[in-house]
Structure 1
Amino acid sequence: MLLTAVITEAEEGGFVALNPETGTTTQGETYQEAIQNLKEATSLYLDEFPMKIHSHPVMTTFEVSHA
């Protein structure tokens, strides 16, 4: 099953990994560790809550201005 991973740097160091299809989120000290942890967390989630993914989220960027 091909899923999406959104990886961001954590303020306290390391990386946060999110799978938007399931909502699973995890972290890791390195990019690779965050991805591996996300694979494990998402697999465990899908074992408990099986689901069929029919489409992938649309990923884009947008800009906001703030004072």
Structure 2
Amino acid sequence: MKLEYGVRIDRLSEADGGGYLATVPELPGCMSDGATPEEALKNVQEAIASWIESAKEWKQHVPEPAPPLARAG
């Protein structure tokens, strides 16, 4: 799957179980985690597909991915 949405990856504290959290700011509530940044990124791609599928099923608006330059900052 081609990654079109911007993803933010943050390290989780040991108190939160460690690993990494990947969130998609353009898709509220869309997130996943993994033991490594690469694993979190792979997992969030599956979460993006599920988020979009669910939004369509519920007839909710699916935001278009922002252009790459709009994500910087």
Short-chain TM bin: 0.7 to 0.9
Say which structure is richer in helix. Answer: 2
Distance 1:36-1:54 versus aligned 2 partners, 3 A rule? closer
2:22 pairs with 1:14: no
Q: Which has the larger radius of gyration?
A: 1
| Pairing partner for 1:53 from 51, 60, 64 | 64
Report matched runs for 1:23-62 at 5 Å.
23=28, 24-50=30-56, 51-53=62-64, 55-56=66-67, 58-60=71-73
Structure 1's consecutive aligned runs of 4 or more residues displaced over 3 angstroms after TM superposition are: 56-59
TM-score normalised by structure 1 residue count? 0.74
State, as a whole percentage, how many aligned pairs show the same letter.
23
The alpha-carbon deviation at position 28 of structure 1 amounts to 0.5
Superposed CA RMSD: 1.9
User: What residue ranges of structure 1 are gaps of 5+ in the alignment?
Assistant: 61-67
Distance 1:22-1:10 versus aligned 2 partners, 3 A rule? same
Say which structure is richer in strand. Answer: 1
TM-score normalised by structure 2 residue count? 0.69
